[in-house]
């Protein structure tokens, strides 16, 4: 985690935000007291855009078993 004052943040904004973009957190101090943290936003897709895992069931095919049962009658 990087630490800075408001004045240093103002003078070196690009450097600190480049660091945040790479995944670092920056804690900002005023008069020796922490007042804020700049944290990266998680790179997550919304739930409606994520892929859905396919359901896979091992064993016999239900439709084949039904057809086999009908043929045996």
User: 55-65: per-residue pLDDT in tens?
Assistant: 777 888 888 88
Counting every residue written for the chain, the total comes to 73
Q: Residue 73: helix, strand or coil by DSSP?
A: coil
**Is 61 a domain residue?**
no
**Is 31 a domain residue?**
yes
**Is 68 a domain residue?**
no
State the pTM of this model. 0.58
Element (H, E) at 68: helix 62-72
Q: What is the DSSP string of 39-67?
A: -PPP----TTTSPPPPP---S--HHHHHH
Task: Kindly tell me if the per-residue pLDDT of 4 is higher than 90.
Answer: yes
Quote the number of domains for the chain. 1
- CATH code where residue 37 lies: 3.40.1620.10
Question: Nearest-CA neighbor of 16 among 36, 33, 2, 31?
Answer: 2
Domain limits for position 20: 1-42
pLDDT tens digit string along 27-65?
999 999 999 999 999 877 777 777 888 877 788 888 888
């Amino acid at each position: 985690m990087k630490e800075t004052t408001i004045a240093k943040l103002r003078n070196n904004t690009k450097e600190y935000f480049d660091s945040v973009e790479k995944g670092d957190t920056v804690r900002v101090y005023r008069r020796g007291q922490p007042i804020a943290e700049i944290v990266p936003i998680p790179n997550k897709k919304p739930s409606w855009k994520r892929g859905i895992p396919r359901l896979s069931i091992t064993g016999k095919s239900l439709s084949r078993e039904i057809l086999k049962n009908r043929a045996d009658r």
